[in-house]
Amino acid sequence: MDITLEQAEKIVAAAKTKAKEIDTLMNIAVVDRGVHLVAFARMDGAWLGSLDIAIKKAKTAKLFNINTGDIGALSQPGASLYNIELSNGGLISFPGGVPVKNTAGEIIGAIGVSGSSVENDHAVAEAGSLAL
């Protein structure tokens, strides 16, 4: 099963609601199982540089079926996946990317959020991922 546009839009809407709730301006991207964009929204005034980061976070989360921040722990100097960020056209390994599951628990895509602290980015991504 792949994510539908209706599901992706529900996720983006939930992420926007959470972003406003914590007073942040976010870029929000949702990708499918093949890491291709399904839906995207950039809130007015959000950092322009976060556009690419939001998309890369969503891709990274789906490429490895993992929260992006979990990769960052392994990609530091001396760690086992040092500089893995250079693969796949550029990964983002700090928090803000979260896999999206359907009600059966299968991963059907991922959400990436960027525009604030990594804690806020992750909180908004998680809120989005739980919308289904």
103 sits near its own copies (criterion: CB under 8 A): no
98 sits near its own copies (criterion: CB under 8 A): no
Q: Which is nearer to its own copies, 6 or 23 (CB)?
A: 6
Position among 15, 19, 24, 72 found at the interface with its own copies (CB under 8 A): 72
Tell me how far apart the alpha carbons of residues 110 and 9 are, in angstroms, rounded to a whole number: 13
Position among 24, 42, 100, 112 found at the interface with its own copies (CB under 8 A): 42
23 sits near its own copies (criterion: CB under 8 A): no
33 sits near its own copies (criterion: CB under 8 A): yes
| Stretch binding its own copies (CB under 8 A), from 42-50, 98-106, 124-132 | 42-50
Residue 7 tokens read as 């599901």
107 sits near its own copies (criterion: CB under 8 A): no
Q: What angle do CA 45, 3, 36 make, to 5 degrees?
A: 60
| Stretch binding its own copies (CB under 8 A), from 68-76, 98-106, 124-132 | 68-76
Q: Mark out the alpha helices in 64-100 (DSSP H runs).
A: 68-72
> Does residue 109 contact residue 4 with C-beta atoms inside 8 Å?
no
Sign of the dihedral through C-alpha 106, 7, 89, 120: negative
Q: Mark out the alpha helices in 1-132 (DSSP H runs).
A: 5-21, 50-63, 68-72, 118-129
Query: What residues make contact with its own copies under the rule CB under 8 A?
Result: 4-6, 8-9, 32-44, 47-53, 56, 60, 62-65, 72, 75-78, 80-94, 117-118
